Amino acid sequence: MSNRTPQKRQPVKKKKRLSKKKVFTALIITAALAIVVGLAGYVFILYSGQKQLKENENKFVMAQASTIYDVEGNEVAKLYNGENNRIIAKYEEFPDLLVDAFVATEDKRFWDHSGVDPQSIARAIVKDVVQRRAVEGGSTITQQLAKNMFLNADKTFFRKATEMSMAMALEQQFTKKEIMEKYLNQIFFGNSSWGVKTAAKTYFGVTDLKKLELWQMATLAAMPKAPSYYNPIKHPDKSMERREVVLTLMYNQGYITKDQMEQAAKVKYVKPAKSAQTGSTAAFDSFKDYVVQEAEDKYGIDEDKLARGGYQIKTTLVQSAQKAMDTAYKDDSLFQEDMNGEMMQSSMVILDNATGGIVAMTGGRDYQSKMTFNRAVNMTRSPGSSIKPVLVYAPALESGKYTPYSQLNDTRTDFNGYSPRNADGKYEGKVTLQYAVKKSKNVPAVSVLQDIGVKTGKAFAEKLGLSFDPSDNNLALALGGMAHGVSPLQMAQAYTSFPTGGTLHEAHAITEIQGADGDTVASFKTKAKQVMSAETAWNMTQILETVVQSGGTGAKAAMNRPLAGKTGSSQLTVKGLEKYNTDLWFVGYTPEWTGAVWMGFDTTDKSHYITMSSGSAGVIFKTVMEKALAGHPVKDFERPAGIQDAATPPAGVTNLTAVFDPETAHVKLTWTAPSDASKLTFRLYRKEASEDAATVLQELSGVSEFEDMTVVAGGNYQYYVTTYDPEGGEEGTPSNTAVIAIPADAGLTPSPSVSPSETPSATPDEGETPSDSATPSPGDTGAEPTPPPGETESPTVTPSPDEGNPTPTSTPASGNEEGGADGVGAVLGGNGNGLHNGNGRGNGNGNGGRNP
């Protein structure tokens, strides 16, 4: 039995239920507390807003101006210059539809809310939650006005709360019309234009707002969302798309009819006449505008904030260089006269090789701040032969398969349906790579690109900052045949890699941005990239130095200090005008700086084309650079450590002649051997008309003549001779090519003899008459297009024996005083003509083409 005493069981207590009366009482108390807290919060918000408004009333006027400084710390320009950037308008000046356009787009309940729109805030919260970040502002027009007084666009709770409190305070202090008036006078419209009246004058040349048309009002209302992106001058297509959105909102909200909407949506934007524009033509405008663009693109500081924030902007500008450029671009004698009412245009940029800093820049001869395209940056054109060093020859040297003295094919060749031509119709059999660059020959360039591969050439050029369209996949690229082309800034940046031992620095204008308090808010940080070997870079510099020497296509650019560079041009393809050009280029560099010059017309057609010589861009380069570098000590290009010059080939033979003897029916060949030929042999090459390339006919030693006994009546033959070093395995540069035709009745009439090439004396001017011709037709990634004749860029000037280059067979063809051009001609109509990205011409799939 158990001795345990039984425990008394405790009764279970029942939970008391809350009565309805108690719940109701609690709710009333909670509601009362919420009302009290809400009223207290509302009073606090109103008080805070009134206080903030009082403290910032002065900010209805523009804040402190930001300042741009040059590389030495000297002030260059103010981004905001007093009230010249804003024309104040009274509410009565605003057409009803103009106000309606902004209300429909920015705040459709503007006339009903008290500064804050709960529906917009709720919508913004939902979007922020979905996106998990602050993406929707939910701001009313009144809030936007409040925000513009602070310069802080961060979507933070504190900033938003302050903005809301100020908006409510604004609504208490001002009427709706007064708020709208302040808003339309305060808002930023891009192009240094604050206020709707200023914007109307800037974009449409309209000073009386009542005269604005519906499409113009909608265009203005479309801009506050993103002034740079929806700017009708910079981005007319995007502006037109956004305008259609505004018109649709106005229609949906009952402000306009469907017919009004459709008619206004169709209008194409046209810039106003210069007299109506507000842009200035002051010095440094191109550079200043680029600084503004770079601040937004690289550092996220938009123009409105940058101009009004009191920033100190330190840049790479060298004022002496910029002034030299501005002076040259005001000298009309350097440019072609206006053609059919249009001014010949040009742009130029100079970069510091060591840093990539933009030393100077001009966007055009008539550049107006914010009103015209900066052609040095935003316009792309066919580069002609100026692309050969970065797309063809540098990658060829980098591959290890080529040296500056490699023998290249210079015979008429069909590359799978694509047959580029040398413009003068002369082919020299074999030429050295260096000679091909100096004379800007087309066939050798295409031949080399085919050998290394288009993909390899493009990949190399892309490392240097060039970009290509997906359709740029054919051999026409070797001559500048691109769908969209390149800008002077891109070309200058690419060429800076040659004088720096193969390192590339990103082009930039801003080095540092300091806030009004002196704190650094942005700074340029980038590492130089090694884009090619130091050996390739050094060899390219030595090669490009020959281009600006006597007999080279860039001789007009030669200056009073070491220089290397390349010419380029594109041929007009209008029937009967093929000898003229659409684009002229010169890209060159000294040990300190690299510059790129483009010349042409914004729109090229049968009424607007270049008649100046192909060396004209080089003249501008020289004019600017000599003055810009005045005072800088002259120094040579610096050979990279451990890099040796490429081995030079044996000296070549000269004065090759071919004479047909009707009695023996033989061709007698004679030549002049070099003085140190005792250890060399001679290779005699022959090419028959039916053959694609020359082959070795005989290898000889100790003689300077040979009789070809294998010719046939009616045959056509080309001969050239090279020296060969059996010990080193090196072949010398080819002689001039001797061409002879055997008469069909060879036994009766002797054939005229072919004497050595005539050697006209060439002034530097004549040395710029290149001759290369290739005209690709549209082609896809597989087959190569077939081009008609057209390019020019190799003057037929006999080099001196120490140049080690072949001697052309005749004087330059008449009819083109200083040569033609190089590259691929611009196509008129179809895919060839028309402005690309505003001003760039797509001419990659066109006909013709020159490239000095």
The 3-class secondary structure across 635-661, one letter per residue, is CCCCCCCCCCCCCCCCCCCEEEEEEEE
Q: How far apart are CA 717 and CA 374, in angstroms?
A: 53
Structure tokens that stand for 823 in this block: 């590259």
**Active site annotation includes 385:** yes
Q: How far apart are CA 649 and CA 406, in angstroms?
A: 9
- CB neighbour list of residue 167: distance below 8 Å, 6 or more residues apart: 49, 115, 116, 140, 142, 143, 145, 146
**Active site annotation includes 181:** no
Total length of the chain: 852
Q: How far apart are CA 418 and CA 565, in angstroms?
A: 28
Rounded to 5 degrees, φ, ψ at 620 are -65, -45
How far is C-alpha 715 from the chain's CA centre? 51
Q: How far apart are CA 689 and CA 719, in angstroms?
A: 11
Q: How far apart are CA 251 and CA 257, in angstroms?
A: 6
Rounded to 5 degrees, φ, ψ at 158 are -65, -45
Name the helix (H) or strand (E) containing 53: helix 20-55
Catalytic residue chosen out of the listed positions 66, 106, 244, 382: 106
The 3-class secondary structure across 508-531, one letter per residue, is ECEEEEECCCCCEEEECCCCCEEC
Give the CA diameter of the chain: 156
Q: What's the N-to-C CA distance of the chain in angstroms?
A: 124
Structure tokens that stand for 621 in this block: 């380069």
Q: Parallel, antiparallel, or unpaired: how do β-strands 581-589 and 593-600 relate?
A: antiparallel
Helices H / strands E in the chain, number of each: 21, 24
Structure tokens that stand for 82 in this block: 């007093």
Catalytic residue chosen out of the listed positions 165, 347, 382, 385: 385
- CB neighbour list of residue 317: distance below 8 Å, 6 or more residues apart: 68, 70, 71, 76, 284, 287, 358, 359, 360, 509
Q: Parallel, antiparallel, or unpaired: how do β-strands 67-69 and 312-315 relate?
A: parallel
Q: What are the CA-CA distances from residue 633 to residues 213, 349, 358, 562, 644 (Å)?
A: 59, 22, 20, 11, 26
Instruction: Identify the CA nearest to 497 among candidates 466, 471, 524, 474.
Output: 466
Instruction: Identify the CA nearest to 599 among candidates 321, 628, 789, 608.
Output: 608
**Whose structure tokens read 């904030």?**
305
Q: What are the CA-CA distances from residue 153 to residues 62, 300, 512, 584 (Å)?
A: 16, 11, 21, 45
- CB neighbour list of residue 566: distance below 8 Å, 6 or more residues apart: 385, 386, 388, 389, 437, 440, 544, 547, 553, 554, 586, 587, 588
Q: What are the CA-CA distances from residue 405 to residues 371, 387, 677, 805, 834 (Å)?
A: 49, 20, 19, 9, 41
- CB neighbour list of residue 15: distance below 8 Å, 6 or more residues apart: none
Q: Please count the CA atoms within 13 angstroms of the CA of 268 that sit on its side-chain side.
A: 1
Q: Parallel, antiparallel, or unpaired: how do β-strands 529-530 and 503-504 relate?
A: antiparallel
- CB neighbour list of residue 64: distance below 8 Å, 6 or more residues apart: 308, 309, 310, 516
How far is C-alpha 274 from the chain's CA centre? 25
Q: How far apart are CA 291 and CA 278, in angstroms?
A: 19
Q: Could you list the active site residues?
A: 106, 385
